[in-house]
Structure 1
C-alpha cells in the first residue's frame, strides 16, 4: 500500500506504476490522501426481485451498493418469486434486472429438495454457484434440504466445480430451542438468542464437512456467528478439504449484551452472540480462518420487523447494511490494529474468488476491471437512515458514528457515486459464468 498511478483504458486496468509515471497529456484523477481500494465485492445480498420488490429491488439495492463502495454484488436465490431454482426462474431474474443495475450483479442458483436435475442447466445458464438452507428459510418458495437432498446434489456440484453456499443451522436444535422459550416473553433478546442455540450451527457444519469429505464438493459456510464452530472448519482445511467461511459486519460490530429488549431491527439468523464470541470471530479473520466479510443484506417492509411490539420471535430476521458495510467493518478493524489492506483481502479479493470472478474483480491489478472505491479512513459520519438508498430505512446502525467516508465509487473507470450523489442512469451489467 502506498502512492501509485493506476492506468485505465476502456474500463480495464492496464498497469499499476509509480506515482509519477503518468503519460503526458493523459487525463488524471487525483485522490490525494484518500485510500484507493478495489471496489467491494459482496457475495451475500438478497435483492428479492421479481416477486418481492416491495422488500428490496435491483434499483434500490444497487444504488445503496454504489453509495457504499460496493461495485459487484451477487444475488441470493431465495425471497424472489420464482426462486432461482430452475433455468426458467433464472431467466425471470435476469429479465427483472435488465436496465436496473447501478453496479455489476452476479447470481447464485438454489439447491432445494428435488432439483438436482436443475443444477447443471442453471450452471450452464450462468449462475456462479449454489445456495441451500439446512433449516426453514422463512419463505415457502425455497425449501430446506436434508442430508438425503445434499447427497443427491453435492456429487453434481462436485462434477461441475460449483461451490455450495450453505445456511448452516439444523432444524432439530432450533425446534428444541423454540419449544424451550415458547412461554417466555419474545421482547427479550435473551429469549430469541436461546431459541436459536449455537448447537444448530455446530451440528450443521459437522454435516457439511462430512459430506464435503465424501463427495469432494466445494462448501462455503455463510454468515458464521458461532465461534465454537471454528475448530471444525480449521480441521477441515487442515485435512485439505475445500471448505471456506464468511462472517458479516453485524456479527463483528454488535454483541448480545448491548442489544436492547424490543430492538428487533437487530434480529438476524443465526443470531448475534456475546462479546467474547465476537472477539473470537475477529481473531479468526486475522488468522485467515475466516476469509470473507459480506453483508447478508436482507431488508423487508418495516412492519415485518415488528418494531412496534418488539417481539423478536415474530419479527422477520434480516439486517440491511449494504451501504454501510465498509465503514462498519473499518471501525472494528481499526480498533483491533488491522489496516485497509486487510479489508481489501476480506471484502474484495476473497469474495471475488468465491464467485469465480477473480480474473476481473477484487484487485487493483493489470487486466482487472477498473472498479474502485475512494474513501477517507479518518473522516466520520453519523448514520442517518433517511440517507440510505436501500428500499426501507430500517437499520440497527441508526445514529451510530462510523469512520471511513466513501468519497467516490468507480465502475469500469466510470464514476458512479461522488460525495453523496449518484450518477444518473444505471451503469451496471449482469455477470454470467461463461458456459
Structure 2
C-alpha cells in the first residue's frame, strides 16, 4: 500500500508526457503505474486533468545567509522557492563571509538546518588559497565557484593561466566548477574610459566581448585539464555563438536566466534599479539570439540568479548606475516565467523540465535523487492545472526584496500543490505543515 497516490494527472518528464499514476512511500516515488490501474493508498489525490511535474532545481540562487540577512535569509528565500515550485535551491557562496573554507561551509550547513522550506545544496567558492580545496571536497558541495572578474582580489582569477591552474588543482575529484565568464581587463579599462556613471558606461564595462572571452577562456582551460565546468549566465549573441562553436571541446554546460530572455537594456528606462544586475541586460538582437538558442536546445539550464536586496537599498540614490546593488528576486517566479515561454511557443513542457529539473540535478550531482518522476527518486512533485491561468504580482512576493520584475504578467496554468519528499508543503499558494527541508550534498 502506498502512503499517497496521485491519480489522473499527465506526468511530464524531460523525455515527454505520460499517463501514469504515481505512488509515494517513505519520501520517494515508490512506483509509476498505468493510469487507472487499481492501487491502494492511505491518501488518494485526484489530479484528473492536471499536469504533474518534478520539483524544479534552481542551480543559481543567493539566499544571503550568513551576514546579509536584511536582504534575504534561509527561511524567507526557501519560502519563496516553495511557492514557486522550486523544491531544491543551489545556494551560491557569496555571502558575508564568502563560503571559502571547510569551517565556513560546515557552519552554513548548521545555520540552514531546521529553517529551510525546501532542500538546499550549498556551493563553495575557490579562493587563492588552494589548500582549502581538499577539506571542502570532503563536505561534498554541489559545486565550486570560480570568478574571473568583478570580485574581491582573494577570489579573482583574471587570466587564462590562473583559471587553468585552479582547474588543475581539482585533479580527479570529479566535481563541478561553476565559472562566471567575464574579463577584468575590460571592466577596468572601460571604467577608466568612461567615468560618467551612466547606464551606457555600465553596459560597456560588462560587454558581450567580455562574456565571450570569458566563455572561451573557461572552455579552453577545461579542455586542457579535463575538468567538468558549468558556465554561468550567458546572455549575449556573441556569447551564444562562442558557446556554440567551442562547447564540444570540454565537458561543459551553460545556463541563462529568465530575465535575460524577456528584458532588454531599454527596460532600464522604466524599471531601472529593479533590473540592475550583472551581467547587464542586452539589446533586442541579443535577446532574440538567446531565445533562439533556448528553443534550439543549445542552453542546458535556466536558473534565476535570485539575488535580492532590501527595498531601501534598491531605491536609495546612487551617484552611478553601476553603484546600484546588483541583483533581483527570481525563485518565486521561475516556474511562472518558464510557463510563459511555453505559452509563447518557444519551448514545450518537457523542455521546461529538462532545463529546470533534470539537467541541473544531473549536472550538480543530485541526478540519482532529483529532477525526474521515476521510481526511487525523491517525491518532489508539482501539480499544475492548465485549465486555470495565474498572475504574478508584487503583492504576493515573499522574498525580502518585496517585488518582482514580472509584476502583472499572466501565464496559462496554475500551480496548485507542491510536494517535498512526498509531503505536501504548498496548497493553493500557501505554505502548509512544518519546515523540513534538508541540506543535500553532491553524490559520489
**Bin for the TM-score computed over the shorter chain:** over 0.9
Question: How far apart in 2 are the matches of 1:105 and 1:423?
Answer: 19
Matching residue of 2:158? 146
Match of 1:327 in 2: 336
Q: 1:427 to 1:142 in 2, by over 3 A?
A: farther
What residue is the counterpart of 2:207 in the other structure? 197
Distance 1:404 1:24, change over 3 A: closer
1:176-195 map, 5 Å: 176-183=189-196, 186=198, 189-195=199-205
1:73 has 2:93 as partner: no
Structure 1 residue 131 and structure 2 residue 145: aligned? Answer: yes
Match of 1:105 in 2: 120
The match for 1:421 is 430
Counterpart position of 2:14: none
- Deviation string 1:98-137 (CA, Å, 9 cap, x unpaired) is 210110011111112x221111211111212201211123
Partner of 2:227: 217
Shift in Å, 1:308:
5.2
1:22 matched to 2:35? The reply is: no
Q: Which residue of 1 aligns with 2:168?
A: 155
- 1:316 matched to 2:316: no
Q: 1:310 deviation in Å?
A: 9.2
**How many residue pairs get matched?**
427
**Distance of 2:32 and 2:291 partners within structure 1:** 31
TM-score by length of 1: 0.93
**Partner Cα separation in structure 2 for residue 191 and residue 146 of structure 1:** 21
Check if 1:289 corresponds to 2:301.
Answer: no
Q: CA–CA distance in 1 between the matches of 2:338 and 2:179?
A: 23
Secondary structure at the counterpart of residue 88 of structure 2:
strand
Measure, in 1, the Cα distance between the counterparts of 2:57 and 2:183.
28
1:400 aligns with 2:400: no
2:78 counterpart of 1:62: yes
Question: Is contact 2:178-2:230 (8 Å) kept?
Answer: yes
Match of 2:31, SS state, is strand
SS in 2 for 1:271: coil
| 1:87 paired residue number | 102
Distance 1:261 1:308, change over 3 A: farther
For residues 34-68 of structure 1, give each alpha carbon's deviation from its aligned partner in whole angstroms, at most 9, with x where no partner exists.
Answer: 22100000110101211111111100011111000
Match of 1:256 in 2: 265
Q: CA deviation at 1:28?
A: 1.3
Shift of 1:162: 1.2
Aligned partners of 1:159, 1:233: CA distance in 2, in Å?
A: 25
Q: Which runs of 5+ in 1 are unaligned?
A: none
After superposition, the C-alpha distances for 1:223-251 in whole angstroms (9 at most, x for unaligned) are 11122122332233333x10110001101
Q: Tell me how far apart the structure 1 counterparts of residues 264 and 368 of structure 2 sit (CA, whole Å).
A: 37
Q: Deviations over 1:73-110 (max 9, x none)?
A: 111011x2221111001011112112101100111111
**CA gap 1:32/1:208 in 2 versus in 1, 3 angstroms:** same
CA distance in 1, matches of 2:390, 2:436: 27
Q: Could you say if the C-alpha distance between residues 22 and 389 of structure 1 is closer, same or farther in structure 2, counting changes exceeding 3 Å?
A: farther
Provide Cα deviations, 1:269-325, integer angstroms capped at 9, x if missing partner. Answer: 111112221122122122222100110000112232246569522201101110001
In 2, Cα distance between equivalents of 1:20 and 1:383: 35
**Which whole-Å CA distance do the structure 2 matches of 1:106 and 1:277 have between them?**
32
Residue aligned with 2:439, SS = coil
Given candidates 169, 177, 188, the residue that maps to 2:182 is 169
Partner of 2:43: helix, strand, or coil? coil
| Corresponding position of 1:48 | 64
Q: Which residue of 1 aligns with 2:7?
A: none
Alignment partners' CA distance in 2, 1:233 and 1:347: 20
Which residue of 1 is the match for residue 375 of structure 2?
366
Partner in structure 1 of residue 24 of structure 2 = 8
Runs ≥4 residues deviating over 4 A: 307-311
How many angstroms apart in 2 are the aligned matches of 1:378 and 1:160? 47
Identify the residue that residue 289 of structure 2 maps to in structure 1.
280
Tell whether the 8 Å contact from 1:157 to 1:164 is kept in structure 2 after alignment. Answer: no
Decide which structure has greater strand share.
2
1:190 deviates by 4.1
